[in-house]
Amino acid sequence: MVLAAAVLVADGVSLLLVGSAALWLRGEPVTVGDVDVVIEPGRENLRRLHAALSGVALRPRDIPAPHRLAGVPVVTIATSYGRVDCLLERGRRDWARLREAAGPVAVADVSVLVASADDAWALRRRFKGPGG
């Protein structure tokens, strides 16, 4: 499932992996249900995100237009690699901070930025509660 993130990165999207997939790559004992990625803000990056998602989405019509991506908080897209949650609002607010603590992890031969375990746990606790 983390291949989805690698494919988006290979397509030129600047993103940072958080959520269960990030924790799993960091060696934490969690089950990966979907892929949560924080997207770097910026018009050009959102255009690349739109193009990349269009190539792998099961229902391309679910993808908001590039200019709308700049205003929505989260976009969830079912791709052929699994469900991808694009956390756009989180990117607008916290990209710089999350980027600072993140590090690259090789997925296939792509270097994917993965949030630190502390940040990933903090986001998970914030949005899913203690049981999530």
- Per CB under 8 A, residues contacting other proteins are 3, 6-7, 10-11, 33, 55-56, 58-59, 78-83, 107-110
How large is the angle between the packed helices 43-56 and 3-10, nearest 10 degrees? 130
- Residue 2 Cβ, how far from other proteins at the closest point, in Å? 11
Residues whose CB is less than 8 angstroms from the CB of residue 77 and which lie 6 or more positions away in sequence, other chains included = 53, 57, 62, 63, 83, 84, 86
Decide: 24 and 1 in contact? Cβ < 8 Å.
no
Tell me the closest approach of the beta carbon of residue 23 to other proteins, in angstroms: 17
Which residue in this structure is represented by tokens 């959102």? 46
Nearer to other proteins, 60 or 71 (CB): 60
Residue with smaller CB distance to other proteins, 42 or 82: 82
Q: How far is the CB of 59 from other proteins (least distance, A)?
A: 7
Nearer to other proteins, 33 or 71 (CB): 33
| Shortest Å, Cβ 21 to other proteins | 14
- Would you give the DSSP letter of residue 47? H
Q: 83 or 93, CB closer to other proteins?
A: 83
DSSP state of 41: P
Q: Coil, strand or helix: which one is 127?
A: helix
DSSP 57: B
